[in-house]
């Protein structure tokens, strides 16, 4: 009795168990549900086997037609019950798979800014280091810090600060394209990883993205707020690990802060060098315009933020699209139907904006979105990946069908006209399509789609290019092969 009381008081004196980590709790609950489902399926199969065994034994003892018919009826009913139970289990498994995939996306996304979080960033940096060690392919990381952010918060409040952080993330994401991973590094600091690209290749794009932050107004409670940012870049070097890779970028970022902020530096492996902004083409000033009849009136005021605040009808954003792409890729790997992806880019978007202003550019985007929606099926998914770039995900579609859809879109856009003070302007699009193939992951299928789109652009734009496992083949007027492929893509 005394021992029991001692154990009781000892348990009461122990500190409460620490709360379980949400990912660990999700994994434990998921495992429990899967074990429960597995046991239920096993029980259902055992009962079915027992029923079939009993019917089989009955058949061995009968020889009249009525008994045989009754046994066959029982077998059919038992099989139907088993099929219904298996269908129910499959639906539960598919639901569980979608929940796991959705949770995986959420676990790698920063809740405030909706860009990649620190965990996803560390994984990407590790892949860059491993790729450089294995194949010698360099990668570049850029750290971006919002200047004087504490003072901004003290002046305007933390809610305004949160809105600015969301806006900065959005501006970076829209300016580095889909192949620069934007992540929240911590606080007011962001990171952009250009996997497989050297500093020389991305320096201009990186500096334009940084400059775009200061060129953008962020709206909050009826006010227009502005911030600037400082940046530091570094490229993978021999014997690098993630810590050293980031350290050099951070050192370059510190040089930018020390140099007066609102500028960028890069680490060349030995010293920090300032990025000459005057040698980088600045992001275009986007005018606000008004439409009066068939003419466009121009205003020199800057309103770049409008591009990112007005969603296009029936067009998803990037996070929603990539979430669906991850899910569709998972289904395709399980042996599902074909899966195709097309990237579509408005040709000469900067020229359209310069000729017709922001409203004219938005008209082009709306028209392109409407045409995409007109040719896509109910199961397809369209999203805006960049300022002038759309993605169309086509489950169940082979490459030939995707190229055919791209060609119809190209031809439809070619017939659209934009009114102008002097004459009429047409706009065109280029498209690159791919079908998921053996070994594809998210990055590889996007990279192949990018190559297909780039091939179409390189051949003079207003082209459609399909990329199979062997190379690229263009379709459209005056089309020539870009990369010889043994299996040509045909439209239908």
Q: Which is nearest to 256 in space by CA: 292, 283, 228, 282? A: 228
Both 381 and 445 in one domain: the answer is yes
Q: How many domains is the chain partitioned into structurally? A: 3
Give pLDDT, residue 267.
94
Residue 19 tokens, joined: 């709360």
Both 204 and 263 in one domain: the answer is yes
Q: How many helices (H) and strands (E) does the chain have?
A: 13, 18
Using the 3D structure, point to which of 88, 107, 126 is the last residue of a domain. Answer: 107
Neighbours of 74 (CB within 10 A): 16
Both 256 and 317 in one domain: the answer is no
Give pLDDT, residue 207.
93
Both 369 and 307 in one domain: the answer is yes
Residue 391 lies in a domain: yes
Residue 219 lies in a domain: yes
Query: Residue 384 belongs to what H/E stretch?
Result: strand 381-384
Give pLDDT, residue 139.
93
Residue 492 lies in a domain: no
Rounded CA separation 476/434 (Å): 16
Give pLDDT, residue 480.
31
Structural domain that includes position 345: 288-475
Give pLDDT, residue 7.
43
The alpha carbon dihedral of 334, 318, 360, 280 has a sign of negative
User: CA 127, 131, 136: angle at the middle one, nearest 5?
Assistant: 150
CB-based contacts of 455, cutoff 8 Å, min separation 6: 432, 465, 467, 472, 474, 482, 483
CATH code where residue 400 lies: 3.30.70.270
The pairs formed by 50-56 with CB atoms below 8 angstroms and a separation of 24 or more are 51/78, 52/78
Residue 229 lies in a domain: yes
Query: Residue 346 belongs to what H/E stretch?
Result: strand 339-346
Q: pTM for this structure?
A: 0.46
Q: Across the 492 residues of the chain, what is the mean pLDDT of every consecutive 10-residue run?
A: 45 50 58 70 76 72 69 77 76 61 62 89 92 90 96 92 93 80 93 92 91 89 90 94 96 96 93 81 38 23 33 74 81 82 88 76 85 87 86 91 90 74 66 87 84 86 82 46 31 29
Rounded CA separation 36/38 (Å): 5
Rounded CA separation 139/128 (Å): 6
Both 155 and 214 in one domain: the answer is yes
The alpha carbon dihedral of 190, 195, 200, 202 has a sign of negative
Residue 174 lies in a domain: yes
Both 87 and 214 in one domain: the answer is no
Both 334 and 463 in one domain: the answer is yes
Both 275 and 296 in one domain: the answer is no
Q: Which is nearest to 274 in space by CA: 292, 295, 294, 260? A: 260
Q: Are 386 and 307 in contact (CB under 8 A)?
A: no
Both 194 and 69 in one domain: the answer is no
Both 356 and 248 in one domain: the answer is no
Residue 486 lies in a domain: no
Residue 192 lies in a domain: yes
């Amino acid at each position: 009795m005394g021992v029991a009381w001692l154990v009781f008081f000892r348990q009461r004196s122990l500190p409460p168990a620490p709360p379980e980590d949400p990912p660990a709790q999700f994994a434990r609950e998921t495992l429990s549900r899967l074990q429960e489902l597995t046991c239920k399926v096993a029980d259902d199969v055992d009962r079915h086997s027992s029923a079939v065994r009993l019917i089989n034994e009955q058949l061995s003892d009968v020889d009249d037609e009525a008994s045989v018919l009754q046994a066959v009826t029982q077998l059919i009913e038992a099989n139907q019950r088993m099929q219904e139970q298996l269908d129910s289990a499959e639906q539960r498994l598919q639901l569980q798979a979608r929940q796991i995939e959705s949770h995986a996306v959420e676990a790698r996304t920063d809740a405030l800014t909706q860009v990649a979080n620190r965990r996803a960033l560390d994984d990407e940096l590790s892949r860059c280091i491993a790729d450089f060690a294995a194949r010698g392919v360099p990668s570049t990381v850029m750290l971006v810090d919002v200047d004087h952010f504490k003072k901004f918060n003290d002046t305007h409040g933390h809610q305004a600060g949160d809105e600015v952080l969301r806006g900065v993330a959005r501006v970076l994401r829209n300016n580095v394209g889909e192949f620069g991973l934007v992540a929240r590094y911590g606080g007011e600091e962001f990171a952009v990883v250009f996997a497989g690209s050297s500093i020389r290749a991305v320096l201009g794009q990186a500096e334009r993205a940084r400059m775009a932050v200061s060129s953008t107004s962020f709206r909050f409670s009826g006010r227009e707020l502005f911030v600037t940012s400082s940046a530091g870049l570094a490229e993978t070097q021999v014997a690098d690990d993630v810590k050293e890779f980031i350290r050099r970028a951070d050192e370059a970022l510190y040089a930018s802060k020390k140099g007066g902020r609102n500028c960028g530096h890069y680490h060349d492996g030995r010293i920090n060098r300032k990025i000459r902004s005057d040698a980088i083409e600045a992001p275009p000033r986007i005018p606000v315009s008004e439409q009066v009849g068939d003419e466009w009136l121009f205003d020199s005021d800057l309103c770049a933020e409008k591009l990112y605040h007005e969603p296009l009808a029936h067009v998803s954003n990037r996070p929603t699209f990539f979430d669906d792409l991850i899910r569709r890729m998972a289904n395709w790997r399980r042996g599902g139907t074909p899966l195709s992806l097309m990237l579509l880019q408005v040709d000469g978007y900067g020229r359209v904006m310069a000729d017709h202003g922001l409203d004219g550019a938005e008209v082009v985007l709306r028209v392109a979105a409407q045409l995409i929606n007109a040719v896509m099926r109910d199961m397809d998914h369209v999203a805006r990946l960049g300022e002038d770039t759309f993605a169309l995900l086509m489950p169940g579609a082979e490459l030939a069908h995707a190229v055919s859809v791209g060609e119809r879109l190209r031809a439809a856009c070619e017939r659209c006209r934009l009114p102008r003070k002097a004459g009429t302007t047409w706009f065109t699009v280029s498209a690159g399509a791919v079908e998921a193939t053996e070994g594809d992951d998210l990055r590889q299928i996007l990279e192949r789609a990018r190559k297909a789109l780039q091939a179409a652009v390189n051949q003079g734009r207003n082209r459609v290019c399909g990329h199979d496992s062997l190379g690229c083949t263009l379709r459209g007027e005056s089309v020539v092969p870009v990369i010889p492929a043994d299996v040509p893509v045909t439209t239908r």
